[in-house]
Structure 1
């Protein structure tokens, strides 16, 4: 769509000439001879950019600018001024004008300014569109689950997003820690500022230092030019430090200083740089044990752990698996052009019974394989055996990491699920098969979150 420009000028010949110039450049042009006519025109056909003289009868350019700033602050305005009224142009810039040009007009300069501002406005609109897409992608509704643990987590994340506090996200690999970090940033006051991510585990210490803080030319072999670090790139926004438990003690000291005073130097540099950055860190390690071993600084831990956020593993929120499965089936149906409509209760029971050491990431990969490898529209047991690993109850292994009580409860839960499957998910028959009364059976279903 062609860019619409409103030209406001009280001198008729100049107005017509400017209109002709922009029409020949491919713009749609509206004309007005004073501020009052301009406001009427804006209400009927809102322009993409306004070019207005300052000195005009009736409502002059300055008064027009004040009205536009109140009602249409998003429309960029270029002021036209005579040499003797440069002070007015400066005042107009303070009121929100994007630029000004002096008379006598040089049309090449004028069209260049209009094109530059038009391109900038287009980029701003594109950025706003992309930001809106990111906000939709990382909206709280995209954190899928209905268990109490997820509801509590969502409530906490909403509260954290409304602040600038440092947060430490903890959880096993694949639980969705990065998704939580994204949700915090894109629902915070910093959403329009950069969101920079660094995986601290994949870089050697020397490379990580340069990556975080940048370096100056000649700081080390291969430093052929200055490099801006992630802290500078994230200025005004959020820096997400993933796998924070993997950084060295030296790096911990440097990071602590930035958290305390917001200052650092580039590698090899002497200039102290100051930044305003919100830190969100994440780890799958036990930092308390790392502190006891002297591998993680206690003072850094307290700086990071202002708002602790724990993301539960999938095995502790099994009732959410059915919602995640539905979400991933819908996602991969679209990607691969499939039409899988549902998954049978028996197949779902198998999926819910598996422990998923890789958590949501493993479940997502699993559903992708199921969608890719099957041409049916209903997933049943025969579609799973070669894909879903046998449960620990089925292969005779019991996880004793949590002690005897937890192991017994885990075995009992899996035994109930197997009995339900063997009895066609009939609760009366399953209770009889297990030789327990209905009341006891129902209480165990509730205890183990078996729907």
Structure 2
């Protein structure tokens, strides 16, 4: 069946939106049914077969996220596009994690929604049934790790997080210093199946090179001067969970080779030891460097790059998401309200000054201000 004859279910409590989408999609050659709420949508889904569903998120009664869960149980292969006028990073991440095909904010352009629908229908035959896992700990349960913002750039990041969090693959987070790479790594961990096990961060640039191997892999007693006891390394501490290798581009080639071995063989050897130790870890790495240039200059191993770069996530600098600055400011004001700083608010003129600044240090610089 061609996508032009596909049958689409539109769910929205606003009559004007149902009518708009119905007319638009009918003109495109689609067969369209509409429902004004989640319960009616489920009734239609139990009686009829659909190729795609488009649903609002904020609706009375059964909301869009709960409806999405019900629809994926009824028909795991059904692509579902979520639309909302109240976009948040938490709902974007949660919707994609539950199994949404895409997430669109109102108002949207006609050509945009048409392209998203066509893409979802083209992928329908390739879509695997999503996991039945429902997060015990949604993103909103971790306020210290909340992703703040509603810009298109950051919502795209959250959509990708929702898609890959449960997949046990390596992720390479790229972005300038201060853009929040560790925050993204923590969100990946706490929305994954490994969430009850350790999250172990390691800043590869902050540890002296001569100590980093011992820090990562551990050492045996007597392995070197000062090694008075056996030490367990970060990879072993992260067993069953996630290790976050920040500033991976600062590693020397020898250590790069040893990390490659962990990814390939899932085993380590402590410094001064000859026994292999099996480890089960998910590796998330981050860098602000141009690793492709590093490969050309023989500073970074190409085979390690491809092992890490299974899923690349690019974090935009703050200057490319300035519409998020007011939300970030409110977040930091709330965070520090009870601290010694006693900050209680910000004037419109001061907020405008913050939005006019280019923030070379990104979110970290804004927080420090």
**Which residue in the other structure is 1:88 paired with?**
none
The reply on whether 1:333 has 2:337 as its aligned counterpart is yes
Choose which of 325, 345, 362 in structure 2 pairs with 1:359.
362
CA–CA separation in structure 2 for the residues paired with 1:223 and 1:137: 38
Equivalent residues in 2 for 1:218-237, closer than 5 Å: 218-237=222-241
Corresponding residue for 2:53?
Answer: none
Distance 1:279 1:218 in 2: 29
Q: Distance in 2 between matches of 1:313 and 1:181?
A: 17
Cα distance in structure 2, aligned partners of 1:195 and 1:169: 16
- Which residue does 2:247 correspond to in 1? 243
TM-score by length of 1: 0.50
Structure 1 vs Structure 2 CA RMSD: 1.9
Task: Check 1:220–1:339 CA distance in 2 against 1; reply closer, same or farther (3 A cut).
Answer: closer
Higher relative contact order (CA 8 A, sep 6+): 2
> Hey, what does 2:205 align to over in structure 1?
201
Extract structure 1 runs of 4+ deviating beyond 4 A. Answer: 131-135
Matches of 1:335 and 1:202 in 2, distance apart?
28
CA contact (8 A) 1:139 1:187 kept: no
* 1:281-334 per-position Cα deviation (integer Å, ceiling 9, x unaligned): 011111011111110000000000000001100000011111111111122222
| CA drift at 1:205 | 2.5
Deviations 1:222-266 (A, max 9, x none): 111111111111111000101100000000011101111101211
Does the 8 A contact of 1:232 with 1:275 survive in 2?
A: yes
Structure 1 residues 317 and 167 mapped into 2: Cα distance closer, same or farther (>3 Å)? same
Say which of 316, 328, 331 aligns to 1:312: 316
Whether 1:283 aligns to 2:287 is: yes
Q: Distance in 2 between matches of 1:261 and 1:339?
A: 51
CA separation of 1:257 and 1:183: change in aligned 2, threshold 3 A: same
- After TM superposition, the score normalised by the length of structure 2 is 0.61
Residue aligning to 2:256: 252
CA distance in 2, matches of 1:337, 1:203: 31
1:168 is paired with a residue of what secondary structure? Answer: strand
Aligned to 2:221: 217
Change (3 A) 1:339 1:321: closer
Count of aligned pairs between the two proteins: 234
Q: Tell me the distance in 2 between the aligned counterparts of 1:224 and 1:135.
A: 44
Gaps in structure 1 of 5+ consecutive residues: 1-130, 367-451
Equivalence for 1:136: 141
Q: Is the 8 A contact 2:269 2:276 kept in 1?
A: yes
Q: Where do 1:56-135 residues align within 5 Å?
A: none
Following TM superposition, by how much is the alpha carbon of 1:157 offset from its aligned partner in structure 2, in angstroms? 1.1
Distance 1:147 1:244, change over 3 A: same
Give structure 2 stretches of 5+ with no counterpart.
1-135
The DSSP-based 3-state class of the residue aligned with 2:179 is coil
Give CA-to-partner distance per residue, 1:131-162, whole Å, 9 cap, x none: 9699722587x201111001100111111212
Paired position in structure 2 for 1:430: none
CA–CA distance in structure 1, aligned partners of residues 198 and 140 of structure 2: 13
> Structure 1 residue 342: deviation in Å?
4.3
Structure 2 residue 298 is the aligned partner of structure 1 residue 294: yes
Going from structure 1 to structure 2, the CA distance change for 1:134 and 1:311 (only over 3 Å counts) comes to closer
Q: 1:265 to 1:133 in 2, by over 3 A?
A: same
SS of alignment partner, residue 232 of structure 2: coil
Task: Note if contact 2:204-2:248 (Cα within 8 Å) is conserved in structure 1.
Answer: yes
Q: Is the 8 A contact 2:138 2:191 kept in 1?
A: no
Deviation at 1:204, TM superposition (A): 2.4
Q: 1:262 aligns with which of 266, 271, 283?
A: 266
Q: Report the equivalent of 1:432.
A: none
| C-alpha contact 2:333 2:343 (8 A) present in aligned 1 | no
After TM superposition, give the deviation of residue 336 of structure 1 in Å: 3.4
Cα deviation code 1:77-112 (max 9, x no counterpart):
xxxxxxxxxxxxxxxxxxxxxxxxxxxxxxxxxxxx
Q: 2:352 aligns with which of 340, 349, 365?
A: 349
Structure number with higher helix proportion: 1
> Counterparts of 1:212 and 1:138 in 2: how far apart (Å)?
29
> For the residues of structure 2 that align with 1:282 and 1:225, how far apart are their CA atoms?
31
Q: Note if 1:145 corresponds to 2:149.
A: yes
